[in-house]
Amino acid sequence: MTRETKMSAPGGKTRAAMHELLAAFESFKQANDLRLKEIEIKRSADPLLEEKINRIDTALHRAQGRLDRLALEAGRPSLSGETPSEASEAKAAFAHFLRTGDGARLVEAKALSAGSPADGGHVAPPEIEALITRKVREASPIRAIASVRQTGAGVFKKPVSLGGASSGWVAETAARPETDTSTLALIEFPAAELYAMPAATPSLLDDAMVNLDEWLADEVRDVFAEAEGAAFVNGDGTNRPRGFLSYPKEPLGDQSWGEIGYVATGAAGAFPAEDPVDVLIDLIYAPGAAYRANARFVMNKASVSTVRKFKDSEGNYIWQPGLSAGQPATLMGYAVTEAEDMPDIGAGAFSIAFGDFERGYLIVDRQGVQILRDPYSAKPYVLFYTTRRVGGGVQDFNAIKLLRFAAE
């Protein structure tokens, strides 16, 4: 799938953020080079130098986060100045419902094509649903790199091939002998309910200058993204999506369909003391060649801080910051996605994943964001009980591989 992103020239804030990131990385390299020399000579590093490197590392994370936020803001379509006359009839009617609780206009605008639950909630118009989905995608690291499907059913079913199909070459007029058929399996992705309940004051609802669509999307964004992020990584599949770390895991070469293969570091709870980069190279070549073109690393911030200190055999740092707004940092040439729900490096932990997540992990969104306006339960505040249905799981077990911090 190709995504086209039109970026304008970087503004002053973006250029400043890029300069801050690159300057911090240069300082980090200089300090870490000194640390490596001290370790080589003295077998240990000065604690004050270690503390300095940790401070610079924190500044690097902060600078990268600031640059990412500026890139997202620059890529968003402008929504300012939108008036009900410019919006769709259903959207204007829904804004009136959010402010007043009056759903009569929604019925008149025929905005309830997806139905209305018995407790009085309403299905948001497509424009608002798309706005919420976009904002959640910006804040949810796995959603941003996985495949996403829309469905109107409670369970999305997908047949997958387990192999076994054969082909053959023939002349133009030659007979076509029957070939073997592939073995198929059916995987299911049930959509579970995810909810948030932002509160608004009466004065905010009475303010005609406030764009309630944007307000609601911003309020539910972080709640939805946090819950999704945890489920897409570690979810057990019960009343939530199934995370890719919850599937059975086997050493690379021993796994079968339904299991995820892993590479061991050879050291319990750590990278090997000698040539730690080699295990990352092994992880890169664990998926097939067809998956590496669009592959990336997934790890949390603490793991990034560890691998950022590594050099290759030629003395070059294997981690590099993104050189433009919106471009992710890279590790050995592959993009790095920071997902804080990945486990820290520890004994037996699967702390780093690598692969083509667009082919490997599928997120299923059941169409229809429902909103119940509740002005009674938390007076004087008005609560907006907002629900959406989301499912997910691994769809191609060959596309994702893991690094296990263990002897084997």
Q: What is the pLDDT of residue 19?
A: 77
Buried b (16+ CB within 10 A) or exposed e, 307-326: bbbbbeeeeebbbebbeebb
Cα–Cα distance between 22 and 15 in angstroms, integer? 11
Sequence spans of domains, the chain: 122-163+181-300+339-408
The amino acid present at 133, given as its one-letter code, is T
Q: Taking all residues of the chain, what is their mean pLDDT, rounded to a whole number?
A: 83
Task: Answer yes or no: is pLDDT of 12 > 90.
Answer: no
What is the rounded distance in angstroms from the CA atom of residue 85 to the CA atom of residue 106?
A: 16
**Three-state secondary structure call for residue 215:** helix
Q: How many other CB atoms are there within 10 angstroms of residue 70's CB atom?
A: 20
267 contacts 273 by C-beta, under 8 angstroms: yes
- Would you state the pLDDT for residue 118? 45
Pick the range with the lowest mean pLDDT from 161-165, 274-278, 327-331. Answer: 161-165
Q: Where are the alpha helices (DSSP H) in 235-288?
A: 277-284
Specify whether the CB–CB gap between 405 and 345 falls below 8 A.
yes
The arithmetic mean of pLDDT across residues 81-96, rounded, is: 61
* pLDDT of res. 251: 96
From the options 3.30.2400.10, 3.10.20.30, 2.40.10.10, 3.30.470.10, give the CATH code of 122-163+181-300+339-408: 3.30.2400.10
Dihedral angle sign, alpha carbons of residues 319, 320, 325, 326: negative
pLDDT of residue 86: 41
Give the chain's end-to-end CA distance (angstroms, integer): 36
Lowest mean pLDDT among 23-27, 140-144, 249-253: 23-27
What count of other Cβ atoms lies within 10 Å of the Cβ of residue 237? 18
Length of the chain: 408
- Alpha helix (H) residue ranges in 198-284: 202-206, 212-234, 277-284
> What contacts 24+ positions apart, CB below 8 Å, involve 377-385?
378/199, 380/201, 380/202, 381/199, 381/200, 381/201, 382/199, 382/200, 382/201, 382/202, 382/205, 383/197, 383/198, 383/199, 384/98, 384/197, 384/198, 384/199, 384/200, 384/216, 384/219, 385/121, 385/195, 385/197
Residue 2, pLDDT > 80, answer no
Q: What is the DSSP letter of 382?
A: E
Segment 14-73, tens digit of pLDDT: 777 777 888 888 888 888 888 888 777 777 777 888 888 888 888 888 877 777 766 666
Q: Rounded distance, CA 373 to CA 133, Å? A: 20
Higher pLDDT residue, 200 or 9? 200
Report yes or no: 190 and 154 within 8 Å, Cβ to Cβ. Answer: yes
What are 300-325's pLDDT values in tens digits? 999 999 999 999 989 999 999 887 66
Residues 6+ apart with CB under 8 A from 375: 101, 382, 383
Where does the pLDDT of residue 95 fall: very low under 50, low under 70, confident under 90, or very high at 90 and above? confident
Asked if pLDDT for residue 106 goes beyond 80, the answer is no
Residue 390: per-residue pLDDT: 94
Distances in Å between the Cα of 95 and the Cα atoms of 215, 340, 386 are 11, 35, 15
Confidence of residue 297 (pLDDT cuts 50, 70, 90): very high
CA gap 364, 187 in Å, rounded:
13
Q: What is the pTM of this model?
A: 0.80
Q: How far is CA 391 from CA 100, 146, 212, in A?
A: 33, 12, 27
Query: In degrees to the nearest 10, what's the CA dihedral of 55, 58, 60, 63?
Result: -120
Distance CA 319, CA 371 (A): 44
Residue found by looking up tokens 């944007």 in the block: 214
What is the rounded average pLDDT of the residues 101-129?
Answer: 62
